[in-house]
Amino acid sequence: MKNIVAAVDFSNATPGVTRFCRGNLPRHSGRPCMCSTCWNRSPSYTAYGFTPDEFPAIHLFQEEARKRATARLDEMLKQVSSDVTGAKVHLAEEAPSMPCWTT
């Protein structure tokens, strides 16, 4: 085992995941905890039958969503790394249902 991977979706369960990553298992096992989430570009304009010219704002929405996910992961890293050496975060750019976890 290289890492303890904790999947987060920024729901109400996320603070519990953060506490887990700061807890005894990562500290006593000597394994870093990686908080990971999947960022999905969908829904895209094609899902709604638009062309890129008809719905250019989708790109702004997608980039804002990616920035927010990155910022939330960075905040989690600050919280976790204060207690656990080697903590990491990972933003996978895949649909959450796809296998996107790499350690």
For each of the chain's 103 residues, which pLDDT tens digit applies?
577 888 888 889 888 888 888 887 777 787 778 888 877 666 666 667 777 777 777 778 888 888 998 999 998 888 888 777 788 888 887 655 544 444 4
Number of compact structural domains in the chain: 1
Cα–Cα distance measured from residue 82 to residue 44, given in angstroms and rounded to the nearest whole number = 38
Q: Is residue 68 part of a domain?
A: yes
Cα–Cα distance measured from residue 94 to residue 81, given in angstroms and rounded to the nearest whole number = 25
Residues in the chain: 103
How many Cβ atoms from other residues are within 10 Å of residue 23's Cβ?
A: 14
Decide if 71 contacts 89 (C-beta within 8 A).
no
Domain span at residue 46?
A: 4-92
Q: Is residue 98 part of a domain?
A: no
- Whether the model pTM is above 0.75: no
**7, 16, 41, 89 from 13: Cα distances, Å:** 10, 5, 23, 17
Q: Is residue 97 part of a domain?
A: no
